[in-house]
Structure 1
Amino acid sequence: MNDLVHIPFRGREVLAVEDHGKPFIVLKPALEHIGLDYKSQHEKLRRKSWACMVLRTMQLPGDSQRREHATVDVRTFLMLLATIDENRVSPEAKNVLVAYQNEIADVIEKYFTQGYAFNPRKRAAAIGPMTVTFDDAMALYFQDHGIDYATGFFTQGLRLAGYLRQGGCVPRKKKRKFFFFNGTSWEIRSWALPLLLGEFEEVLRTFQPYPWAQPRLDDGLAERVLPMKRGES
């Protein structure tokens, strides 16, 4: 199915299509809504091994004919947005960028599972929550920053930031909205990825004055230097 779907978002519409029960965002109008340059972001995605991008022929609103347009799944779109520093865009673009990072996955998931155009009993099972593994998060970080941190280093950073409990990858009770349990392990909800990567980088910046402690984050030594946030358990 390639019927164009119009999803209301922030006073405009996100254009999407469904492909075997999975939503794909039409890339150009979404990026233009945020205020990002389509050509440069499209070229960036073409170089990423994790990107799932499909060219489709369709007629967009306001166009007089059918043209070929790039579409991406929601996970790819969010991972692309995670590579964009909100402090390096205009104030107008920053507000929309942050809204997309925090809300778009939930908006699309709810539309495709609960929207009037689809049967929620069928779509809920087909689409499911949109998540990223901890390993995927570090692979993304490496591709965009050139620094290869071990996954354990990332999870320990999230413990220090107050998102995970001590031992394993179990979120603290008040932070579970950022994660999803797949039946065997916890994963990161796609919309929360930019936030958690930002928290991880904040932990790294905090430890810059302590080079003797930073390489040993994974053995618990750093906890005696940086206290947990708000003392959650």
Structure 2
Amino acid sequence: MNNIVHIPFHGGEILAINEGGKPHIILRPAVEHIGLDYPTQYRKLESKSWATVGLAPMVAEDGKTRQMVTVDLRTFLMLLATIDERRVSDEARPILVAYQNEVADVIEAYFTQGYAFNPRMRAAAIGPMTVTFDDAMALYGQDRGYDYPTPFFTQGLRLAGFLRQAGCVPRRKKRKFFFFNGTSWEIQAWALPLLFARFEDVVRHFQPHPWAQPRLDDGSTERVLPLKRGES
């Protein structure tokens, strides 16, 4: 039987369990705390190849054992990344944004250190949840129904001002949206909704002018070293 862990978060709780040494989030209360419809989000996950959804027996508040739907942390972050903050109520928006920005740090801290803490005081040993540019484009395609190549996505981020004009090096003022893993730049999971929205803005801008669409690079400069001091 799984013991439910109650993790305090922004005036509410995240309910999670430990499966195989890794945190899994009980889906329904987490989704409803953001103000979203649980059946809709559950059906959404059922259709996604990247989603890891399971059932776990747990003792509910009434003392009865029930099977509850759980997702691993990566699936939960991917789900959050597909939710546009502009499409939720004014009351739910601050909670959604907080989830998108901070929830991974809070959950990982609880399971690795035994307590939840302010994510702005992140311990150096806990790395951020990130996705590669290829994974981000695959997620975008699965969620939006478009099959854009990764170079088109990176070119869109360059035109939107997030990446330098060569490779996948973020502009210095946009570094907070990315993470250098030692060999290449990856995207912070919480930043995906913003980057997807800006990418769509670029696509909409160029659609009426197909002759002006930028030439796609061949992706050969995807993996690059970070900028040296003084570079922009």
Report the TM-score when normalising by structure 1.
Answer: 0.81
Q: Specify the code of the residue in structure 2 equivalent to 1:104.
A: V
Residue in 2 aligned with 1:17? 17
Deviation at 1:178, TM superposition (A): 1.9
What displacement does 1:193 show?
1.5
CA drift of 1:56 comes to 0.7
Correspondence for 1:171: 170
Unaligned runs of 5+ in 2: 117-123, 218-230
User: 1:97-135 CA distances to partner (integer Å, 9 max, x unpaired)?
Assistant: 222222222222333334349xxxxxx97x743211111
Q: Are positions 1:57 and 2:57 aligned together?
A: yes
Moved more, 31-40 or 202-211: 202-211
How do 1:7-156 and structure 2 match up within 5 A? 7-60=7-60, 62-116=61-115, 128-156=127-155
4+ residue runs of structure 1 moved beyond 6 angstroms?
none
Partner of 2:221 in structure 1?
Answer: none
Q: Return the offset for 1:31.
A: 0.6
1:13–1:138 distance in 2 versus 1, CA, 3 Å: same
The structural deviation recorded for 1:45 is 0.7
| Alpha-carbon distance in 1 for matches of 2:183, 2:13 | 36
User: For the structure 1 residues 158 and 16, does the alpha-carbon distance in structure 2 shift closer, same or farther, using more than 3 Å as the test?
Assistant: same
Paired with 1:21 and 1:171, the residues of 2 have a C-alpha distance of 34
Amino acid at match of 1:26: I
CA distance in 1, matches of 2:114, 2:156: 38
CA distance in 2, matches of 1:30, 1:75: 14
Corresponding residue SS for 2:92: helix
Partner residue of 2:216? Answer: 218
Amino acid at match of 1:166: Q
- Residue 186 of structure 1: how far off its partner (Å): 1.6
SS in structure 2 at match of 1:64: coil
CA distance in 1, matches of 2:208, 2:199: 16
Q: Tell me, what secondary structure is at the counterpart of 2:166?
A: coil
How many angstroms apart in 2 are the aligned matches of 1:71 and 1:24? 6
Deviates more, 1:8-17 or 1:127-136: 127-136
Contact 2:84 2:193 survives alignment (8 Å): no
Secondary structure of the structure 1 residue equivalent to 2:211: coil
Alpha-carbon contact 1:75-1:131 (below 8 Å) kept = no
Alignment size in residue pairs: 213
* 1:68 partner SS: strand
CA distance in 1, matches of 2:111, 2:180: 21
Q: For residues 52 and 79 of structure 2, what CA distance do their matches in structure 1 show?
A: 11
Distance 1:116 1:81, change over 3 A: closer
The percent identity for this pair of structures is 71
Q: Distance in 2 between matches of 1:182 and 1:75?
A: 17
- Structure with the larger helix share: 1
Q: d(CA) in 2 for partners of 1:45 and 1:171?
A: 31
Taking the aligned partners of 1:172 and 1:110, their CA distance within structure 2 comes to: 29
The change in CA–CA distance for 1:176 and 1:113 in structure 2 (over 3 A counts) is farther
Compute the RMSD of aligned alpha carbons.
2.5
Q: Distance in 2 between matches of 1:145 and 1:80?
A: 13
* Distance of 1:50 and 1:175 partners within structure 2: 27
